[in-house]
Structure 1
Amino acid sequence: MTYCVGMMLEKGIVMMSDTRTNSGVDNISVFRKMFQWSDTDRIIAVMTAGNLATTQAVVSKLEERNKAPEDREPSILKCTTMFQVANLVGELLRATIEERQMSVDGQAGGPRFSASLIVAGQIAGMEPRLFLIYPEGNFIEASADTPFFQIGETKYGRPIIIRGYDRTMSFEDGVKLLMVSMDSTLAANLSVGMPLDVLVLERDRFDPLHERRIMASDPYFQEISSSWSDALRTAFHSLPDYSFNDRDESVG
C-alpha cells in the first residue's frame, strides 16, 4: 500500500510520501513515490499510489516527453498553466491504465489496474496549485475548503491533519504535522513503511526549498513518534474520569 499527502500553506506546498510497496507479506520492497521536475520558470512534483508498474510507466512517459523535441509530444515543462499540467498527467494515467487493462482483458481472473496521483507545483506569474488525479484521468484541485490531498492508506493520518492544520503555519510546522500523520499511519498499517520522502515548495521559488529522505533511524522522527505517543497518553489521562456509579437519569 502507500501513504502520500500534499498540503497547501500560504507560503507554498508541503509533501510527504512513504516508500513501501508489497505484493504479499513475503514480497516487500522500497520504491520512490515522489518525483519532481523544474526549470527556470516552474517546479512540478508528482506523488504516486496504486499499481507500481502503472505509476512507473506514467513517470517514465513524463520523463521521455521532457527530453523529446518540443514539437513531438506535449511536456509538463512546456505547459502554460498548472491546469494544463494536471490535464496532461491525467490523460497519461488514463491511457496507461487502459493500455495495460486491454492486454489482460479476457484472461480469467486477470488483474485490475488502478492508480492515483497527486500533482503539485507552480509556474512563474501564477499561484501554487495542488491536484488529485483519479484513475479515470479526471481531477480536482485543492482549495481553502479542501487544502490537502491524500492517496493510498489515508484514513489513519487524516484526523491528525484535520485537527492540526493551519494555513498560516510555518513550513517547519507543516512538515512536523505530516510526520505525525505519517507516524499514526505507520503504527496502524504495516503496508506503509519507511523511509519517507519530504519535499517543500516555496511560493515563487522554482527549486525545492527543502527535500529530504527520512530513515527509520532518524533521531528527529523517532523523537516525534515517541513524544506523540506520550502526549496522547497524557491527554487521555487528563480527561474526566468515567464512573460506574454515575447514573444516566434518562434510563429507568
Structure 2
Amino acid sequence: MFLNQLLEEYKETDDEKEKLQLFKEFTDRLWKSKYSFKKYKKYHTFNVSETALLHRQELIELFNKYNEIEYTVCKSFYNKRLDSIDYIRVHLNNTYGYLVDKDVYFNKEYYRLLITPKREYFKVIKALSNGEVVDCEEVEKNIVSALSEAEIVKMKSINKKISLTFSAYKKLINSYLERIFNNYKPVHEYEQEHGWEMRIVVDGWSEDNYIIKYFCRSLTGYMRDYARDQRGFKKKDKIISCEKCGSLIKKNRNVHKYCSPCAKRINILKTIENRKRNKCLK
C-alpha cells in the first residue's frame, strides 16, 4: 500500500479501531525497516613513502604514527531507490544522529581538522621534492595542534546534544506521527486551501513524494521544538553557543559569551592571575 492510500483511508474513516490499525501498520513498517540507525568507522589514510620522504627517519616515524585517523559516521546515504516509508526512516535516523548521538554529526570543522596529518604529509613531500628545508618538529606541532583542536570542536558539538535513548526517541516520534496523521491534507485539498500548484518536473513523481516531504519537515520541526524545550529555552529566545565549551545558552546581553559554569571558572582564573600580578608588584 502506498503512503497516500494509507493516509487517505485513515482520513476518510470514522472508525477509531480502523484508524489505530492503519497507524500501527505504518509505525510497524517504519521501525522494522531494514534501514535502521547504523554507525560505522571511517578512516583518513595515506601510504607513507620512505623514498618520497628522502629516507628521513624522523619524518617516516612521524607520519607512520598518524597515517590512519579514525572517525565515526552514521549511515545516511543509499545508492538505490528506497520505498517511501524508508526515506522517512532514514530522515529519522539522521535527526537522531544530529540531535542526540554523541559519536556522529559534529561541526564540519572537526572533520576538516582530522585531515591535517594527510595534508601535512603531501605538503612535506612537495617541499622535499622542491629542495626546501622541512622541520620535523614544526610538522609534528601542526599535526598535534590540529588534532587537539579537533577534540575541542568535538566536545563543543557533543555539549549541544540532548540526552534521549533510542527507545524513548521512538516513543516520542510515534506521538508526533499521530499528530502528522491527523493533520494530513491531501494534495488537492492543500491546493484548494492555499492556492498552491504542483509542478511536476521529475519523472516518476507521485503523491508519496509530497507526503515524504510533509512527514520529514513536520518531524524536523517537532524535534527542533522538543530539543529547545529540553534545553530550557523559549521559542523567542536568541540562542548562542558558549565560546568555551560550546553549550547552547540564551543571549541576555551583547557581552554575553559564556555559559554560567564557564564564566565562573574564567572569573576565578582572572582573580587568581590578578592576585599574582598584584603580589609581584608589591
Q: Tell me the TM-score normalised to structure 2 length.
A: 0.18
Whose relative contact order is higher, 1 or 2, with alpha carbons under 8 Å and at least 6 apart?
A: 1
Structure with greater helix share of residues: 2
Structure with greater strand share of residues: 1
Q: Return the index of the structure with the highest Cα Rg.
A: 2
